[in-house]
Structure 1
Amino acid sequence: MNYLIFGMGAIGTYIGGSLKLSGERVFYLERAEVARRFNQQPLVVEIDGKEQPFVPDMLSDSLEAILERYTVDVAVVAVKSFDTPAVASLLKPYCNQVSAVLSLQNGVENEEILAEFVGNERVLAGTLTSAVAKKETGRVVLEKKRGVGIAGDRPLSRKIVESFNRAGLNAKLFPNAGEMKWSKLITNLLANASSAILDLTPAEIFSHPKLFKIETEQVREAVRVMSKLNYRVIDLPGTPVRLLSLLFHSIPEEIARRVAGKTLAAGRGGKMPSFHVDLYRGHRPLEVDYLNGAVVRFGERLGVATPVNLFLNEALLSIAERPLETNIYRKNPDRLIAVLSERVRLFS
């Protein structure tokens, strides 16, 4: 199969590299300066401690140039959610030359945006649960292999899964795209916004009773929105999301905190969540409005109250947009709890 990858970030490099190393054709669309640099050197995927260099069949800053030379079976969108409209508008004039557009992005709104530009019949939902880190542009490391979910409601779905599995990506078909994407969203919420706002590790957050309560409530809000959408929480490749949901719904809080500290936090190793990494490296914008913010937007549409997600979204967006506010809650959970308590009756 012929794959066009939008983005040489962690996901794009890992997916594209794995596919190329398995014998598929892979083309990358990137910024001009990146395309010039990497036309002179291979990209690298590190798996199980072994670096595996690969050379894409084409790396260009021109979509037209790629499509003049090759047909494309699948365009893989592996950019941050805030870049989705730009990718969609690039694809629009050429949509009849691309059989399927696969979104492997976090969030639950990207597919809808892509469909507005290229047609719903071409858009395919996907999700990556494997942990991949970007060492630098063009070099990534697979930290923990879990897998890939692919919605099974499009003509190419099964063929893509077979192709991904030949590449060792552990892909699985899911009959309900919404359940798959929302279940992944739950995993993205945990200790993500709060870690960036407070500059605390997930372990510190989960061990603090009131901060754990905040984490619990943001997950419960998301699950209530899912319920209104008639979506179930489902397990994803290598990720027991149903058990995770039960942790925040049915298990006594003290036990749940202990389990969260040992499993969720310990499972990250020393790696901080993505919002924390982006905030303190100065990357802007942040994706929080496409995760916590999405819970809020769907909640408003469906009549589900989501005050904790609203607070976390607004607080982190404000900090990201105004660097002088970075210290407003930094290492100060009591202040965050006090401000949130003025808006939400969460603590007895």
Structure 2
Amino acid sequence: MKIAIAGAGALGSRFGFMLQQAGNDVTLIDGWKDHVEAIRRNGLNVTINDKTFNVKIPTKYPSEVTADMKMDLIIVFTKSMQLDDMLQNIQAIITDQTSILCLLNGIGHEDIIEKYASKQNIFLGNTMWTASLVGPGHTQSFGDGSISLQNLVDGHASEAKYLAACLSEAGLNAEYTDNIHYSIYRKACVNGTMNGLCTLLDADMAAVGATRMAHKIVTTIVNEFAAVAKHENIDLDTNEIIEHVESCYDPKTIGHHYPSMHQDLIKNHRYTEIDYINGAISRKGQKYGIATPYCDFLTELIHCKEDIVLKNDPVIN
């Protein structure tokens, strides 16, 4: 299968590596110059559970994508605020036969993807795989993960199941679900707690979980997500989700992982996706007349943190 990874950061690079190792024809597409040039020059370094692999893998800037690079599958791994620009830049490789799988953090990305692809070719998913960037051209991760996905349009479940099988052949543990919106909200609860808290406290998930106030904060945020989801006919099991979030604290699994928002802002001095996670809940809360004070405040605090961290960054300014 010809596969493009649109947004080849930490997790996109790991997926590209695993899919290539399974025999697929994979191309990475990314706009970060240092990362692209490092892969071109030295190959992609992938560290998994303390073992490092080095592979040659085609890597392109979005501006280098041409119509002759038609793809069977595009997996989008951009930041939410970069999705529209990425798809606009690579639309030459999107045909009526191209499937697009969205695994982005956050809520509502299908509205953007529909501008560039037929609804029947769009698949929504979420993943519990994790990864971080050691530096340009080097992704690192620990443990295993999974993917759940579903077709956006009714009547295309067979295509979704086929896609899940192809990903599972690469060891990505993908499965079809008939309720992806529940799964997306469930994952968004993890992101809506761990991403913002780890970023503001400059701590990994185990350290956040060890604080005295962690349970109260996580419980309140999850309940705000659940109140919004209920207005969209999604009934979240809050007790199970809180337990799921708190399982992330375990240092024997992923507790020492720093979530992507921390990597973006604290490590790499980039803007965050907060407006597509807690900020999305705030907007939906206003729409439905639901109070979401913790999500509101967390979103505001992250924007304050962005102002502090990025104020004097020469690349940003």
Q: How does 1:316-327 map to 2 (within 5 A)?
A: 316-323=302-309
Shift in Å, 1:212? 3.4
Query: Aligned AA for 2:5?
Result: I
Shift in Å, 1:50? 3.0
Equivalent of 2:217, from 214, 219, 238? 214
TM-score, length of structure 1 as denominator length: 0.77
Instruction: Please name the residue that 2:140 is paired with.
Output: 141
Give the Cα–Cα distance (whole angstroms) in 2 for the partners of residues 19 and 185 of structure 1: 25
Query: Aligned AA for 2:200?
Result: I
Give the Cα–Cα distance (whole angstroms) in 2 for the partners of residues 10 and 16 of structure 1: 10
Instruction: Please name the residue that 1:38 is paired with.
Output: 39
CA offset digits 1:251-293 (Å, max 9, x no partner): xxxxxxxxx4x86253444333433343322522111111110
Q: Secondary structure at the match of 2:8?
A: coil
Q: Secondary structure at the match of 1:88?
A: helix
Shift in Å, 1:159? 2.0
Shift in Å, 1:47? 3.1
**Identity in percent:** 23
Distance 1:279 1:97, change over 3 A: same
Q: Secondary structure at the match of 1:272?
A: coil
Q: Secondary structure at the match of 2:131?
A: strand
TM-score, length of structure 2 as denominator length: 0.84
CA offset digits 1:286-319 (Å, max 9, x no partner): 1111111011122222222211100110121122
Give the Cα–Cα distance (whole angstroms) in 1 for the partners of residues 147 and 266 of structure 2: 29
Give the Cα–Cα distance (whole angstroms) in 2 for the partners of residues 196 and 5 of structure 1: 26
Q: How does 1:155-234 map to 2 (within 5 A)?
A: 156-199=159-202, 202-203=205-206, 205-210=208-213, 212-233=215-236
Instruction: Please name the residue that 1:20 is paired with.
Output: 20
| Kept after mapping to 2: 8 A contact 1:152/1:176 | no
| Kept after mapping to 1: 8 A contact 2:16/2:26 | yes
- Stretches of structure 2 that go unaligned for 5 or more consecutive residues are 312-317
Shift in Å, 1:78? 0.8
Farther off after superposition, 283-292 or 115-124: 115-124
CA offset digits 1:22-50 (Å, max 9, x no partner): 10111122338454543343223333443
Give the Cα–Cα distance (whole angstroms) in 2 for the partners of residues 24 and 124 of structure 1: 19
CA offset digits 1:214-263 (Å, max 9, x no partner): 322111000111122112437xxxxxx86233689xxxxxxxxxxx4x86
Instruction: Please name the residue that 1:238 is paired with.
Output: none
Q: Secondary structure at the match of 1:117?
A: coil
Instruction: Please name the residue that 1:110 is paired with.
Output: 109
CA offset digits 1:146-171 (Å, max 9, x no partner): 21122145453122211111111111
Equivalent of 2:256, from 263, 270, 291? 270
CA offset digits 1:116-141 (Å, max 9, x no partner): 33343332112120222222233223
Distance 1:242 1:98, change over 3 A: farther
| Kept after mapping to 1: 8 A contact 2:9/2:30 | no
Q: How does 1:43-58 map to 2 (within 5 A)?
A: 43-56=44-57, 58=58
Number of residue equivalences: 305
